[in-house]
Amino acid sequence: AGRQKKHLGIIALLALSCTLAFILSVRHLKAEFFFSRSIYSMPFAKGHQDKLGPAEKDLKHATQTYAFDPSYHFSLAYLLLRENRHSESIQSINQALHLDPYHINYLNNQGFIYAKLGDFNKAIEAFKKTLEIYPQYESAQKNLDILLKKTGQSPVTHNETIPDETK
């Protein structure tokens, strides 16, 4: 009888696990639908920011439906950045980085958004962290150099961020 209860408990746990996996899969598929639709409805030509509403709505729906995918938060941050809604954009990019803290594109964009917000110290920190992870990332290096010049600091040359292996 004890063995039978143990087996029934294991079967119930497996059934619950399968059900949970199915629910998460369905939620992910639903989020992917909204994400895909948002990408196709996003106008890429300048001067069409007034048509971003449907894309924003779909991206927000995707981030709410499946909050564990950082790419949805990143895409929403990018969309909000295009609309010059920097305060909202930084929230989305920070959520993406919470889920994937070492993604160099997310970090570089975080620095860019902080610079747009005028928070140069946080922007510099984000660019430096990006370059710590991937020293050859030219966009982050360029962004860092521009910001350091703008703040009156001496730019770090590309050679200083890459360890010299010949020494």
Q: What is the pLDDT of residue 27?
A: 53
Q: Which two tokens stand for residue 6?
A: 């143990």
Residues 37-87: tens digit of each pLDDT = 555 455 544 444 555 577 777 778 778 877 888 988 998 998 889 889 999
What's the mean per-residue pLDDT of the chain? 78
The token pair at 14 is 């497996």
Extract the tokens encoding 131.
């370059």
Q: Give the span between the Cα atoms of 29 and 34, in whole angstroms.
A: 9
